[in-house]
Amino acid sequence: EPEVTQTPSHQVTQMGQEVILRCVPISNHLYFYWYRQILGQKVEFLVSFYNNEISEKSEIFDDQFSVERPDGSNFTLKIRSTKLEDSAMYFCASSEEGASTGELFFGEGSRLTVL
Amino acid sequence: AQSVTQPDIHITVSEGASLELRCNYSYGATPYLFWYVQSPGQGLQLLLKYFSGDTLVQGIKGFEAEFKRSQSSFNLRKPSVHWSDAAEYFCAGSNDYKLSFGAGTTVTVRA
């Protein structure tokens, strides 16, 4: 069964460093998303991406964050200068249709620890 | 604002007993609603979804949910829980571009 894969599974970084989290969505999907979950808290929407541009972003997704689809298979989330509060589990998701009608398939997450 | 609310933070249930998890939504129009499950250390798995039509929807792992417009609710149920059902359960609602999650309900299953 096709699945969304994320790398790395866990990354530890120093505050102020740049981090890139990678995702390989399901191949025929057109909509891509990043969510994050701070330990013990709810899953929060960060950004959605369609047709090579951001469709919607939350207030969390400030100028420190960016997303890119550098080739036909990868979807990346970059945090330019990490802060302690960026420590969280980051989930990538993809869907064949938009979120209102299509099921989102989630990866297993990338745990980011900022020291 | 469009949102879903899960009033129960934590529920403990005995194995074999029934389970009901509450979810209330606040959307201008009839929303698209989902239930996801997250097992410890795992990603999110879709249990079931409601778009329109029948108000009782069946999902995987023996779960079902009932959409009640009059109560703005979409509660998840399972007649008989198994120890493997211990997990975090998230209700979610969507518009075209994003899925918004409730705060989650942690389910503990005791023997």
β-strands A110-114, A10-13: how paired?
parallel
Answer whether B97 sits within 8 Å of A109, measured CB to CB: no
A46-57 pLDDT, tens digit per residue, is 999 999 999 999
With contact defined as beta carbons under 8 Å apart, do A21 and A88 qualify? Answer: no
Mean pLDDT (chain B) is 91
Q: Sheet containing A5-7: which strands, arranged edge to edge?
A: A5-7, A19-24, A75-79, A65-68
B10-28 pLDDT, tens digit per residue, is 999 999 999 999 999 987 7
Q: In this predicted structure, what is the pLDDT of residue B96?
A: 67
- Give residue A67's identity as a one-letter amino acid code: V
Does the beta carbon of B27 lie under 8 angstroms from any beta carbon of chain A? no
CA distance B61 to B41: 19
Q: In this predicted structure, what is the pLDDT of residue A75?
A: 96
Does the beta carbon of A51 lie under 8 angstroms from any beta carbon of chain B? no
Give the other-Cβ count within 10 Å of B105's Cβ. Answer: 21
Q: Is residue B107 very low, low, confident or very high in pLDDT (cuts 50, 70, 90)? A: very high
Q: What tokens does A51 get?
A: 């047709």
β-strands A19-24, A5-7: how paired?
antiparallel
Chain A residues within 8 A of B90 when measuring between CB atoms: 42-43
Q: Which residues contact A88 (CB under 8 A, 6 or more apart)?
A: A36, A37, A38, A39, A111, A112
CA distance B41 to B13: 21
With contact defined as beta carbons under 8 Å apart, do B93 and B33 qualify? Answer: yes
Nearest to B43 among A33, A55, A108 (CB): A108
Say whether A68 sits in a helix, a strand or coil.
strand
The residue-averaged pLDDT of A60-88 equals 94
Answer whether A100 sits within 8 Å of B96, measured CB to CB: yes
CA distance A10 to B43: 14
Q: Is residue B71 very low, low, confident or very high in pLDDT (cuts 50, 70, 90)? A: very high
Answer whether B43 sits within 8 Å of A44, measured CB to CB: no
- How many residues comprise chain B? 111
Answer whether B97 sits within 8 Å of A98, measured CB to CB: yes
Answer whether B98 sits within 8 Å of A91, measured CB to CB: no
- Residues of chain B with pLDDT > 70, as a percent, come to 95
